[in-house]
Amino acid sequence: MNRSFYNGVSGSKTYMTGMDTVAHNVANVNTTGYKGKEAEFAALFSQTLSESSTLPASSQVGLGSRVNATALDLRQGSLVGTDGMFDFAIAGDGWFAVKNGTQTLYTRNGAFNIDAASHLVDANGSYLLGVSANTFTPDAANPGSYRAAISEGITLTPDAATEKIFLPPLATMPARPTENVTFKANLNPTLEKGSVTLDLPADSLTLTTDTATSTATVMGDVTPSETILEPKPGQSVVVTLANSAGDIVELTTTLDDSLHFEIANADIARLDPVANGPISATAKLLTVQPLPNIGHFQAPIIAGNGEKGFIDMTFTQHLPAPQVGTIWDAKVDVLQFAENYDPAKSYDPAIYLVDENAQKVYTRLDSQTGSLTFDATGALVQNTLPPLSSGGATLQLHLGTPYDPALPNSGYDGLTTFANLPTTSHAETHDGYEKGDLRGYVATDDGTIFANFSNGKSSAVAKIPIYHFINDQGLGSEGGVYFTPTSNSGNAFLFTDGSGRVLQGAKLHSFALESSNVSLNNALTEMIVMQKAFDANAKSITTSDQMIQKAINMKK
């Protein structure tokens, strides 16, 4: 009968511990990252009353109950949006690693902020651990500020060394001059004819003057050349006679069938050849011939001094055109804004380009010429433009890969000369960027924290690894929402695939926190169960007491 006392006592103690566990869960129903615990009960040892191999059942009586374990409830808590830039929530299995003094702890509470030393810490001052990209270096010229380098991303390795995550409030990304510009456009190869006035070579004219009669005879021949493409009989020639005083006489004639022209005994008395001689002659041909097509484009760059500039490109179709394909004369200027145009100033054209329409003056950082040759299909076959300079930095202008049967898309990956394509559109890409100031930080779902800059660039700063354990239930609680590895949990590790590449195993959400996974409805129900079980165990104690009293009274 005494056993029933001890059974009741052990049961009461057991359910008091169970009530403590449930009450602790209820107390942390709003604790960020909290994982509830469940009390698991087990029977104490049993006493054998008699041994018999013939009985169909054993003859044993139990001696009470105990709390076998308080197991972690590892279910995912709800993700709640916040306005904290460094509030992180793990969606899936895994843990953050934090450093508290010399001890590494693990937690699901992702509420972090930047401390006075620019490190990510939680509310208790524990440092969030991550893998650094070493993006920032101190700026000697600006104490308290940092210079940032470009980092595209961070690759985790199973043995990656972790450290405090450093996020300075002041940082700049130095400018990087443009080194490569890739330009694509189509040049119109179709020639159209138009009226033009062309200067005739001086050596093609013959001038004879008669001072006695104040007359002059002018004759000449027009020969087709790279400038005069299609001279024809009947086209007009305007001859201008001038004296040393600046007086002129204009005479007009036409070409004969042999492209010869002649004006005989022209009156030049008003030129007074005796007093104001000698007389000079120039001639212009009014003709109709093919006009060269011109392509004019611009592409932005970052110059060698880190400031914005641009490439100004003019492609002029070379005439006369070859029988097959086309040739284009290229003139390329590398320009940077110097000042607003001042009409009172004189600008050296070797140094400056003046745009009077825009009222701006640009510095010529470089100027180069060359030619581009295209075949009959419109493919680029040769480019003689040399590399450019942008003021201390070499600049390579990529206008396409010359055609090579062994190279796919060669000849058509830059400038082309297709007659049926528009010539107004173009596309360009360039490397380099101007100086940028730090604008803020952002985290991606793989745990990478990027720094964003005013020049539109981003740089990876650190990556937050998500750690795992063989047995999460075996983790030891350090109070609050911190846990430490034990022999039951095993050491923390990172997931890897077959090739050894680290897999996070979960997604990281920024501007979010994981709420407690305690269900208040379940907890209140468990309270009722614990209370009723405690009452029943207490009743077994009082009932056993009454039975003993009855047994004692039986002697009387």
Question: Which pLDDT value is given to residue 517?
Answer: 78
| Dihedral over Cα of 113, 115, 117, 121: its sign | negative
Q: What is the pLDDT of residue 117?
A: 94
398 sits in which H/E element = strand 394-398
> What's the pLDDT score for residue 91?
93
Q: Are 212 and 265 in contact (CB under 8 A)?
A: no
Mean pLDDT by 10 residues, the chain (556 residues): 64 74 79 79 59 57 66 84 93 94 94 95 95 93 92 89 95 95 95 94 92 91 92 96 92 95 92 86 95 94 93 95 94 96 92 93 96 96 95 92 93 92 83 94 94 94 95 87 93 89 91 86 79 73 75 74
Contact 533, 64 (CB under 8 A): no
The answer to whether 411 and 399 have CB atoms below 8 angstroms apart is no
Q: Is 425 exposed, middle or buried (0-12, 13-18, 19+ CB in 10 A)?
A: exposed
Helix, strand, coil shares, percent, the chain, to 5: 15, 45, 45
Specify the pairing of strand 280-291 against strand 192-199.
Answer: antiparallel
Report pLDDT for 25.
Answer: 75
φ and ψ of 544, to 5 deg: -60, -40
> Which pLDDT belongs to residue 309?
95
22 close to 67: Cβ distance less than 8 angstroms: no
What is the spatial distance between Cα 325 and Cα 189, in angstroms, rounded to a whole number? 8
Token pair, residue 407, equals 């190279």
Tell me how far apart the alpha carbons of residues 385 and 314 are, in angstroms, rounded to a whole number: 12
Can you tell me the distance from the alpha carbon of 108 to that of 483, in angstroms, rounded to the nearest whole number? Answer: 9
CA–CA separation, 390 and 401 (whole Å): 22
DSSP string, 419-478: TTS-SS-EEEEE--B--EEEEEEEE-TTSEEEEEETTS-EEEEEE---BB-S-GGGPEE-
Enumerate the CATH 2.60.40 domain ranges in the chain, comma separated. Answer: 195-289
Looking at residue 332, its pLDDT comes to 97
Would you mind telling me the total number of residues written for the chain in this entry? 556
Closest listed residue to residue 202, CA positions, set 282, 89, 268, 142 = 282
Which helix H or strand E contains 235, and what residues bound it?
A: none
Q: What is 195-289's CATH number, 2.60.40, 3.30.1120, 1.10.10, 3.40.390?
A: 2.60.40
Distance CA 468, CA 451 (A): 27
Cis peptide before 402 (omega within 30 of 0): no
pTM of the model: 0.70
Q: What pLDDT is stored for residue 46 in this prediction?
A: 56
pLDDT of residue 519: 75
Q: Tell me the torsion sign for CA atoms 11, 16, 20, 22.
A: positive
Say how many CA atoms lie within 13 Å of 156 toward its Cβ: 23
